[in-house]
């Protein structure tokens, strides 16, 4: 049976973040080799879980490294990760192909196109074997990156609920390539920076663009159409909306027509976003008879590299006398202080606003510690179903009628278990602050009775043009 390597190097890099991403950040989320990858991913709702499910070839697990979104990956960390990948490729024995789970928006201190480097390293070791890569919908793939793949697959959904399916799709395409099909990729880009709030695939324009992409895939001469609305919070030349068409050799004209049609539709669409500021949003939430209300802290989007310690909404909730609100704040210092006080004790500390000056000032609180845990949980939701995660030392503190969940590590609000594992019932809350743009819907979409997306301060603003750019106007 033919042997196909499976590897993962995944990070969404916010180049405006003050927190460099180091090797220990990968170690805290995922840094696995060989059969340990199978143990973690087999049967789960992950991209690799989908790749491993194939019976058409022998999957050979190599390296799987992933860290939560953050700042640029340090030079030493990238060197270490690339070394692990190269060693795994050379030590795996003869491989007939390579499946990669990449993000598409990974940036290092000295490398603006990490995915391109990963593919270059892989090609140097393996030569001309087929390579199929799965990318995040928020990727900013360079032309060199896409063209170094025989086929490009991307999540079709945001929130991302089709990861396993895309892994299965990549494995299916790999089988076609092993059976002597030949594919190549064509790339079209437009330098358009789009707030993630406008990228939801349940709503227009993305819903309509995705529908047209699926129609185009049914035409002769096209195998896959990948739409990348992109990650706007990266100051790199490759940022923007990308369309990548995978097509059989000789199908260049049809692929170009499809890509040009979609780029024209992207350019003609309205991607503008306008949202209320924190004061107006909290006042609106307090007036709402529908509960719970989700207040999306857009600019402190942990899933986009935000530090998770923004205090703008907490400050307004306290100032306006909110009750039964649930707010998560990433603050290792405060979490450890709560653990030292212990359950039932009184915690007096400043929380949040400690990473930089962009997300609000620290807030002095005095509250009762209700619970302290190690923050471990397993998700049964739609995002990476069956995987284990941890927020580190986590404390639940009651402050003037507000339930404050203080975590050691910033963790995207993709899972309802992040709260239920701490004894917090989100369905009974009046207000929930979710530090994200849209992906929080995979956790709280079913219980939300009203949603207010808030124009908060931070490094993931609803208007990306507020951020300074060295790589041209967008």
Tens of pLDDT along 206-220? 999 999 999 999 888
Close Cβ partners of 280 (under 8 Å, ≥ 6 residues apart): none
pLDDT of residue 472: 61
In this structure, the answer to whether residues 94 and 71 fall within a common structural domain is yes
In a domain, 97, yes or no: yes
Contact 162, 201 (CB under 8 A): no
pLDDT of residue 320: 98
pLDDT of residue 304: 96
In a domain, 386, yes or no: yes
pLDDT at 306 over 60: yes
pLDDT category at 105 given cuts 50, 70, 90 is very high
Q: What is the mean pLDDT of residues 417-426?
A: 97
Note the pLDDT tens digit of each residue in 345-359. 999 999 999 999 999
In a domain, 471, yes or no: no
Tell me the chain's radius of gyration from C-alpha atoms.
22
CB atoms within 10 A of CB 205: 18
Contact 372, 330 (CB under 8 A): no
pLDDT at 336 over 70: yes
pLDDT of residue 474: 53
Pairing of strands 431-434, 293-297: parallel
In this structure, the answer to whether residues 250 and 292 fall within a common structural domain is no
Dihedral, 91, 97, 103, 104 alpha carbons, nearest 10 = 110
pLDDT category at 321 given cuts 50, 70, 90 is very high
In a domain, 372, yes or no: yes
Nearest CA-CA partner of 244 in 270, 263, 267, 271: 263
In this structure, the answer to whether residues 306 and 346 fall within a common structural domain is yes
Among residues 217, 243, 268, the one where a domain terminates is: 268
Contact 209, 234 (CB under 8 A): no
In a domain, 474, yes or no: no
In a domain, 470, yes or no: no
Note the pLDDT tens digit of each residue in 368-409. 999 999 999 998 876 678 889 999 999 999 999 999 999 999
Close Cβ partners of 222 (under 8 Å, ≥ 6 residues apart): 216, 245, 246, 247, 251, 254, 255, 258
- C-alpha 41/C-alpha 455 separation (Å) is 37
In this structure, the answer to whether residues 146 and 44 fall within a common structural domain is yes
In a domain, 316, yes or no: yes
Among residues 212, 241, 268, the one where a domain terminates is: 268
Contact 251, 182 (CB under 8 A): no
In a domain, 8, yes or no: yes
In this structure, the answer to whether residues 73 and 140 fall within a common structural domain is yes
pLDDT of residue 139: 98
For residue 466, give Cα distances in angstroms to 302, 339, 397, 458: 19, 38, 34, 10
In this structure, the answer to whether residues 129 and 182 fall within a common structural domain is yes
In this structure, the answer to whether residues 243 and 293 fall within a common structural domain is no
Range(s) of the domain holding residue 197:
3-268
Among residues 241, 268, 295, the one where a domain terminates is: 268
- Domain count within the chain: 2
């Amino acid at each position: 049976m033919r042997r196909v390597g499976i590897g993962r190097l995944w990070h969404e890099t916010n180049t405006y973040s003050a927190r460099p991403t180091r090797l220990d950040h990968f170690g805290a989320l995922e840094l696995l080799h060989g059969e340990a990858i199978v143990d973690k991913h087999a049967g789960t709702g992950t991209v690799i879980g989908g790749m491993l499910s194939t019976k058409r070839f022998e999957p050979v697990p190599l390296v799987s490294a992933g860290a939560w979104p953050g700042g640029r990956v340090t030079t030493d960390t990238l060197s270490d990760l690339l070394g692990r990948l190269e060693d795994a490729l050379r030590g795996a024995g003869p491989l007939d192909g390579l499946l990669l789970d990449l993000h598409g928006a990974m940036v290092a201190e000295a490398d603006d196109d990490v995915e391109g480097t990963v593919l270059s390293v892989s090609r140097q070791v393996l030569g001309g074997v087929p390579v199929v890569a799965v990318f995040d919908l928020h990727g900013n793939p360079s032309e060199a990156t896409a063209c170094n793949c025989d086929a490009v697959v991307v999540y079709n959904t945001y929130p991302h609920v089709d990861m396993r399916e895309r892994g299965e799709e990549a494995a299916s395409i790999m089988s076609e390539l092993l059976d002597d099909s030949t594919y190549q990729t064509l790339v079209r880009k437009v330098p358009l920076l789009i707030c993630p709030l406008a990228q939801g695939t349940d709503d227009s324009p993305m819903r309509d663009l995705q529908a047209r992409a699926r129609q185009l895939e049914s035409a002769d001469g096209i195998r896959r159409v990948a739409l990348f609305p992109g990650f706007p919070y990266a100051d790199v030349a490759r940022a923007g909306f990308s369309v990548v068409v995978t097509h059989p050799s000789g199908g260049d004209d049809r692929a170009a027509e499809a890509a040009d049609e979609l780029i024209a539709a992207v350019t003609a669409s309205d991607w503008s976003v306008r949202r209320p500021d924190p004061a107006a949003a909290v006042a609106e939430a307090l007036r709402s008879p529908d509960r719970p209300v989700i207040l999306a802290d857009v600019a402190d989007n942990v899933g986009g590299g935000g530090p998770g310690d923004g205090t703008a909404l907490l400050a307004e909730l306290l100032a306006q006398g909110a009750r039964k609100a649930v707010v998560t704040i990433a603050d290792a210092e405060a979490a450890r202080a709560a653990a030292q006080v212990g359950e039932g004790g009184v915690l007096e500390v400043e929380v949040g606003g400690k990473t930089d000056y962009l997300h609000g000032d620290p807030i002095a609180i005095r509250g009762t510690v209700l619970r302290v845990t190690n923050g471990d949980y397993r998700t049964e939701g739609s995002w990476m179903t069956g995987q284990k995660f941890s927020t580190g030392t986590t404390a639940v503190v009651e402050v003037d009628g507000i339930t404050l969940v203080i975590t050691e590590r910033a963790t995207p609000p993709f899972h309802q278990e992040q709260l239920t594992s701490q004894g917090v019932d989100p369905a009974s809350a009046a207000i929930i602050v979710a530090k994200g743009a849209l992906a929080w819907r995979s956790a709280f979409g079913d219980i939300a009775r009203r949603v207010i997306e808030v124009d908060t301060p931070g490094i993931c603003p609803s208007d990306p043009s507020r951020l300074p750019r060295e790589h041209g106007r967008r």
